[in-house]
Amino acid sequence: MRLSVALALLAAAANAATIGDWNTCNQSTDTCYSTGWVCCVAPADTASGKTTCRPGGNVCAVQPIANWNTCQKGKDSCASSGWVCCVAPADTASGKATCRPGGNECAAPTIPDWATCNKATDKCSSTNWVCCVAPADTASGKTTCRPGGDQCAQTTAPIPDWATCQKGTDKCASTNWVWCVAPADVGSGKATCRPGGDQCASSTPTPSSGGGSGLARFLSADRFNQLFPSHKDIYTYDNMVKYSTEFEPFANSGNADSDKRELATFLAHTTHETGFLQFATEQYDPNHLPSYYPWVGRGALQLTGDYNYQGFAQAIGQDVKNQYWLVDSKQDLVWRSAFWWWHASGMHRIASQPNQFGLTINTINGGFECGSNPSNPDGQRCRIQYFKNYCQLFGIDPGSNLYC
């Protein structure tokens, strides 16, 4: 009898496995990867009895769900403070609930820039952006978060350079750039924001070498190497300067303090996101893939999420959404992705202003580092310390409102 029990225990041990979070598991033998997670039946799986590795008690009574992911209303809690499991207006017919910002019924969810939205209820992430019908979408009536008026008839905020939009209605970010049809796009008629005349006579992108950037004025190659002595080879100083003005002027307003403040803010966030430029890819556990995989953080500012990869792809004319591995493997893209996001997210406008560093933290990672009980408070503290250090280096006052 004792021998049979011992053999049974050995067999169970042989069959046991460590299971990645959210994956299907065997309640009798498997252990979950993350501490405090258990193999249990989620409320939504009561009928099937399927067991998965999840946070919570033996019956998965309450577990935090990642932002924008499907959840069970009334039972699941969302990862970020102020987010709730609710049915968005667009999902009323299906009744699908997701973790979103807003009230109990997703009355006022915050929608990412350029994403599809509900005009009657949704709020756009960026200031002065609205949920409206772009001229190109008049026939379908599709509404998206965009800069401009109620009907997107004439945008009041500049659109990212190289991005697709409606010729004749939208305004480009850079001076002397126009919405036009490039020679390569004559067949499709696609209009993009490019340098040149009405017909885009010059259709090859020519990134600035620093003419519209204050970066080289305040940060020399020698100082760059002093600040980042162990930087990954893919992060070259020359490319940083070259692509800093591809999408708009950078740290070149003419006000030295404002320009230094923008550069200090940019360096603080890149330092934190990449470990002093030692990483080009987000550090994650392969057994616990992020919900946004494979569009994980890549490049100097860790471009993240399919919608950001899509926006960047449109801006540069390369399919980096489907070829996402290019963003952390090409010397130009690690910087271009960072400066594109800097422009598209509105950081350029915020970072040069005094007493706004806390807002930049909220913009880049507010869901995890900001609020009364953030899941990653150390991230905010590190960014602030880096910012103070760079401000001291450039001889400017870091100001107030450093926390988000």
The CATH number for 249's domain is 1.10.530.10
Helices 331-344 + 306-316 axis angle, to 10: 110
Q: How far is CA 257 from CA 25, 155, 229, 252, 354, in A?
A: 56, 30, 26, 10, 9
| 240 and 365, same domain (yes or no) | yes
| 232 and 362, same domain (yes or no) | yes
Task: Please give the Cα distance from 93 to 328 (Å, whole number).
Answer: 40
Q: How confident is the model at residue 393 (pLDDT cuts 50, 70, 90)?
A: very high
Which of the pair, 70 or 62, is modelled with greater confidence? 70
| 252 and 295, same domain (yes or no) | yes
| 169 and 297, same domain (yes or no) | no
Query: Which one, of 314, 172, 302, 192, lies nearest residue 249 by Cα?
Result: 172
For the chain, the domain total comes to 5
What value, to the nearest 5°, has the Cα angle with vertex 31 and ends 30 and 35? 170
210 part of a folded domain: no
CA-based end-to-end distance of the chain: 64
| 292 and 317, same domain (yes or no) | yes
Query: Which one, of 62, 71, 38, lies nearest residue 52 by Cα?
Result: 38
The yes-or-no verdict on residue 11 having pLDDT over 50 is: no
399 part of a folded domain: no
209 part of a folded domain: no
Task: Please give the Cα distance from 321 to 31 (Å, whole number).
Answer: 35
For residues 64-89, give the mean pLDDT: 71
What's the confidence (pLDDT) of residue 170?
Answer: 64
| 25 and 85, same domain (yes or no) | no
What's the confidence (pLDDT) of residue 12?
Answer: 43
Q: How far is CA 100 from CA 106, 169, 190, 352, in A?
A: 7, 32, 34, 30
Query: Which one, of 126, 71, 83, lies nearest residue 368 by Cα?
Result: 83
The yes-or-no verdict on residue 212 having pLDDT over 80 is: no
Range of the domain at 143: 110-151
Task: Please give the Cα distance from 291 to 305 (Å, whole number).
Answer: 9
10 part of a folded domain: no
| 174 and 28, same domain (yes or no) | no
| 284 and 312, same domain (yes or no) | yes
Q: How confident is the model at residue 119 (pLDDT cuts 50, 70, 90)?
A: confident
Mean pLDDT over each residue of the chain, to the nearest integer: 77
The yes-or-no verdict on residue 159 having pLDDT over 90 is: no
Burial bucket for residue 233 (CB in 10 Å: 0-12, 13-18, 19+):
exposed
Residue 193 corresponds to which amino acid?
C
14 part of a folded domain: no
What's the confidence (pLDDT) of residue 392?
Answer: 95
Task: Please give the Cα distance from 233 to 212 (Å, whole number).
Answer: 25
| 303 and 173, same domain (yes or no) | no
227 part of a folded domain: yes
403 part of a folded domain: no
Region of poorest pLDDT, from 12-21, 54-63, 126-135, 200-209: 200-209
| 252 and 371, same domain (yes or no) | yes
Helices 256-274 + 357-369 axis angle, to 10: 20
**Cα-flanking dihedrals φ and ψ of residue 368, to 5°?**
-115, -20
Which of the pair, 191 or 230, is modelled with greater confidence? 230
What's the confidence (pLDDT) of residue 123?
Answer: 74
Query: Which one, of 348, 210, 334, 358, lies nearest residue 266 by Cα?
Result: 348
Contact 72, 63 (CB under 8 A): no
Rounded to whole angstroms, the maximal C-alpha distance in the chain is 89
Task: Please give the Cα distance from 281 to 334 (Å, whole number).
Answer: 10
**Cα-flanking dihedrals φ and ψ of residue 192, to 5°?**
-135, 160
Task: Please give the Cα distance from 152 to 264 (Å, whole number).
Answer: 34
What's the confidence (pLDDT) of residue 7?
Answer: 38
| 340 and 290, same domain (yes or no) | yes
| 358 and 323, same domain (yes or no) | yes
Query: How many other C-beta atoms lie within 10 A of the C-beta of residue 171?
Result: 17
